Amino acid sequence: MRSLIDIQELSIQEIDELIARANDIIAHPEAYREKCRYKKLATLFFEPSTRTRLSFEAAMYELGGQVLGFSEAQSSSAAKGESVSDTVRVVSGYADIIAMRHPKEGAPLVASRAATVPVINAGDGGHLHPTQTLTDLLTISREKGRLDHLTIGVCGDLKFGRTVHSLIAAMARYEGVKFALISPAELKLPSYIKKEILQQKGIEYVQTTDLAAVMPTLDILYMTRVQRERFFNEEDYLRLKDSYILTPDKLQNARADLSILHPLPRVNEIATAIDDDPRACYFKQALYGKYIRMALILKLLEVE
């Protein structure tokens, strides 16, 4: 029985297989309609979500399975003081696989040790978000036809943005990948990620506050929201929230084949005027999230 807590638990070959499976599902959805008949997915969401939870649920329904769960901590026994371990031990008897989101870093890992069914980390605090990264990798591979030799700009809240942490960990394993880390000084990428991933692997990166300066070099621009819920005070949030707003004029010196990604939800970081630009991929990306989660559920449930 296997869980997915950190994207680095998957080998490159396994990621390739998941992407191939997701592409096959996109091409032949009817072949998958009964694959998870009589299987149940529990979505235990202790923190708000739209895409992640609904795409997991849609994924399980499209595989012919069923879904149970809760979408806020207040409606679960956590509100009575139950531990995560007890909750998942109980839910292991009700479902075949669990997707869990939690505001505390490490909670899904703790859950995976108590569960007797696979646990998928659907986002833990400001730490990791491996299924968003699988979504991002599927999107990049479909847009670019490869995952190697790419220059990736990640822009916005690199400190608290868990999607960025998992994306960097995943992309750093492909040959010829370079990063531009674009953020306000207060929201820089945590130094443990720079040390343990970028420097350790000798990966080329620049750290800057200036999006315009690096724009012409980018193959991928990954925009992120400033993570309001992780701030200690509202003043800092208000000062930093509009640090980067992507508008059409800022794309003037961008490459014609740039791909613009965003895990969503968007607040202000991308002007809606960009939505119709052929380089905007974020709504497609949200759709791909459903297919890659279907592929992941099949893998963890060991369905052929």
Catalytic site positions: 51-52, 80, 101, 129
Name the E strands within the chain.
Answer: 40-45, 66-70, 97-102, 119-124, 151-155, 178-182, 205-208, 220-223, 259-261
Applying CB under 6 A, among 35, 40, 127, 162 the residue interacting with ligand NCD is 162
Residues 6+ apart with CB under 8 A from 103: 46, 47, 124, 125, 229
Nearest to 73 by CA among 45, 99, 101, 52: 45
CA distance 176 to 160: 26
Q: Compute the least distance from the CB of residue 258 to ligand NCD, in Å.
A: 21
Min dist CB 236 to ligand NCD, Å, is: 17
Rounded least distance, CB 113 to ligand NCD, Å: 23
3-state secondary structure of 65: coil
Query: Rounded to the nearest whole angstrom, what is the least distance from the CB of residue 171 to ligand NCD in the complex?
Result: 17
Place of tokens 């699988």: 134
Three-state secondary-structure class, residue 4: strand
Contact between 254 and 215 (Cβ < 8 Å): yes
- Mark the segment that binds ligand NCD (CB under 6 A) among 9-17, 112-120, 140-148, 258-266: 258-266
Residues 21, 102, 129, 159: which binds ligand NCD (CB under 6 A)?
A: 129
By CB under 6 A, name the one of 263, 290, 295, 298 that touches ligand NCD: 263
**Which of residues 118 and 126 has its CB atom nearest to ligand NCD in the complex?**
126
**How far apart (Å, rounded) are the C-alpha atoms in residues 275 and 98?**
34
Q: Is the N-terminal amide bond of 130 cis, ω within 30° of 0?
A: no
**x/- site string to ligand NCD, residues 209 to 238, per CB under 6 A?**
----------------x-------------
* One residue of 51, 178, 290, 293 binding ligand NCD per CB under 6 A: 51
Out of 3, 21, 42, 52, name the contact with ligand NCD by CB under 6 A.
52
- Tell which one of 65, 69, 123, 153 touches ligand NCD (CB under 6 A): 123
Q: Are 266 and 242 in contact (CB under 8 A)?
A: no
Of the pair 39, 47, the CB lying nearest ligand NCD is at 47
Query: 3-state class of 302 per DSSP?
Result: coil
Which range in 64-72, 212-220, 249-257, 260-268 contacts ligand NCD by CB under 6 A? 260-268
Q: Report the C-alpha gap between 124 and 117 in whole angstroms.
A: 19
Interaction between residue 121 and ligand NCD (CB under 6 A): no
Site mask for ligand NCD (CB under 6 A), range 54-93, x = bound: ----------------------------------------
CB of 283 to ligand NCD, least distance (A): 12
Structure-block tokens of residue 297: 């559920």
The Cα angle at residue 34 between residues 30 and 37, in degrees rounded to 5: 160
Q: How far is the CB of 256 from ligand NCD (least distance, A)?
A: 27
Query: Do 41 and 63 meet the contact criterion of CB atoms below 8 Å apart?
Result: no
Report the interface residues with ligand NCD, using CB under 6 A: 51-52, 123, 129, 132, 162-163, 225, 263-265
